[in-house]
Amino acid sequence: MNILKDVLLELFSMFVADARLTAAILAIVVIAALMIDATGWSPLVGGAVLLLGCIAVLLLSVRREAARRLLESRH
């Protein structure tokens, strides 16, 4: 039981650690789902939006973190 608790706490802390990343990914998921439901487009289009959106969010997050670390190293 202790291992399960530790795993769940670790998963929770991964999502809470970067709230902006979590919120952006959830927004991309909602946008992709709404595109499929509201427009009637193929789920393949929604999947492409989901894939490209998640990649874009990840790249922006990495860029933001790299810029933050660069500023910290200069001080």
pLDDT band at 74 (very low <50, low <70, confident <90, very high): confident
Question: What is the Cα–Cα distance from 48 to 44, expressed in whole angstroms?
Answer: 6
For 34, the domain range is: 19-74
Please determine, for residue 15, whether its predicted confidence score (pLDDT) is greater than 90. Answer: no
Question: What is the Cα–Cα distance from 33 to 17, expressed in whole angstroms?
Answer: 25
Point out the least confidently predicted range of 15-19, 50-54, 63-67: 15-19
| Residue with token string 């990343």 | 21
Q: Report yes or no on 45 lying in a domain.
A: yes
The tally of CA atoms less than 13 A away on the side-chain side of residue 42 is 3
Q: Report yes or no on 61 lying in a domain.
A: yes
Residue of higher predicted confidence among 28 and 7: 28
Q: Report yes or no on 5 lying in a domain.
A: no
Q: pTM higher than 0.75, yes or no? A: no
Q: Report yes or no on 8 lying in a domain.
A: no
Q: Report yes or no on 65 lying in a domain.
A: yes
Number of domains in the chain: 1
Question: What is the Cα–Cα distance from 33 to 16, expressed in whole angstroms?
Answer: 23
